[in-house]
């Protein structure tokens, strides 16, 4: 295939989920490069130069309006949490994905970058140098991972069957543990819990885990969009490619955020039992905050999960520009300058 098949600046791109750090950062990066970006989410994207469509993935009119006239779609919106009602995850992660693909087919949009998660293929055991295995809703842990796995299978099915069997160009990217300034999913939680003495290190903290610094994530997603027609049909796990002991990572992020290094240590088996108990308590009522521990979280904090990045880097023609150490320095500088994570 020739390079003219790449999706180049000037193309019209819809991005769902631009109210979160990753989506907003990718949208900004695309605008800066000259892509014509539309965003779809409930709140304002705050991305200068992008056209916002305000609405839900479960609002057919809003989805149709956002998708119409686009050259490609980056579907990033999702319900991300370690707790909550199953039906809420189903509505956003599965039915929302179905709505995007239905609208894309109706509008004649044949190129979709579907954002998934490595947890779709993680059954709780260690992942050591793995590739992007098939999504498995039956074995995935928790409502989030299970529904994201189902959504990924839906995306792969549409890649084969859309447009009366002609199919779509669909690329699946699974970013792993994105962090950096402004991140409320991982970075802020580690720093806040470390400040209050509630951020545990499970066991020795030696399990190797890879993460993804936000600036690298943006560059990789831009590369994925650009090369989508050339590499469609692939599943790619996306990380910095620098596995570190989980305890070292947690302490590094806490310190960069101005918090004391965590000293609380809990045996992994005890954490899993506590996590199951907390899940049952949380299920009894409505909670605005995340539970302090769940079985899934205990597994994530005590098992290795890092991935072979050779296929990803070759497919995207990309390498991370910011190391973990430099990312920690940037986070610390941001906190010193702004006073917040």
Is 144 among the residues known to form the active site? yes
Task: Map the chain to HEC letters.
Answer: CCHHHCCCCCCEEEEECCCCHHHHHHHHHHHHHCCEEEEEECCCCCCCCCEEEECCCCCHHHHHHHHCCCCEEEECCCCCCCCCCHHHHHHHHHHHHHHHHHHHHHHCCCEEEEECCHHHHCCCCCEEEECCCCCCCCCCCHHHHHHHHHHHHHHHHHHHHCCCCCCCEEEEEEECCEECCCCCCCHHHHHHHHHCCCCCEECCCCCEECCEEHHHHHHHHHHHHHHHHHHCCCEEEECCCCCEEHHHHHHHHHHHCCCCCCCCEECHHHHHHHHHHHHHHHCCCCCCCCCCCCHHHHHHHHCCEEECCHHHHHHHCCCCCCCHHHHHHHHHHHHHHHCCC
Q: Given the DSSP bridges, would you call strands 212-213 and 178-179 parallel, antiparallel or unpaired?
A: parallel
Catalytic site residue from 35, 89, 101, 144: 144
Active-site residue set: 144
């Amino acid at each position: 295939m020739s390079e003219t098949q790449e999706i180049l600046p000037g193309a019209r791109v819809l991005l769902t989920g631009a109210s979160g750090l990753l989506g907003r950062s990718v949208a900004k990066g695309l605008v800066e490069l000259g892509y014509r970006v539309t965003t779809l989410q409930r709140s304002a994207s705050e991305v200068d130069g992008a056209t916002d469509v305000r609405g839900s993935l479960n609002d057919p009119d809003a989805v149709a309006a956002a998708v119409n006239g686009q050259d490609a779609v980056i579907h990033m919106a999702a319900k991300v949490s370690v707790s909550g009602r199953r039906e809420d995850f189903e509505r956003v992660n599965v039915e929302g994905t179905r709505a995007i693909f239905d609208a894309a087919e109706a509008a004649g949009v044949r190129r979709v970058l579907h954002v998934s998660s490595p947890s779709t293929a993680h059954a709780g055991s260690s992942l050591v140098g793995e590739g992007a295995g098939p999504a498995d809703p039956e074995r995935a842990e928790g409502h989030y991972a299970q529904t994201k796995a189902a959504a990924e299978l839906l995306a792969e099915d549409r890649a084969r069957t859309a447009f009366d069997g002609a199919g779509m160009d669909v690329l699946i990217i699974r970013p792993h543990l994105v962090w950096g300034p402004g991140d409320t999913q991982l970075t802020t939680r580690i720093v806040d819990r470390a400040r209050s003495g509630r951020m545990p290190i499970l066991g020795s903290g030696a399990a190797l885990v890879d993460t993804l610094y936000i600036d690298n994530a943006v560059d990789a997603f831009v590369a994925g969009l650009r090369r989508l027609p050339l590499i469609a049909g692939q599943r790619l796990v996306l990380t910095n490619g620098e596995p570190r002991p989980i305890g070292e990572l947690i302490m590094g992020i806490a310190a960069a955020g101005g918090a004391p290094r965590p000293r609380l240590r809990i045996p992994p088996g005890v954490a899993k039992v506590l996590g199951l108990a907390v899940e049952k308590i949380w299920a009894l009522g409505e909670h605005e905050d995340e539970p302090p521990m769940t079985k899934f979280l205990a597994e994530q904090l005590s098992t290795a999960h890092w991935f072979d990045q050779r296929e990803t880097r070759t497919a995207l023609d990309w390498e991370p520009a910011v190391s973990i150490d430099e990312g920690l320095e940037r986070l610390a500088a941001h906190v010193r300058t702004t006073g917040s994570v």
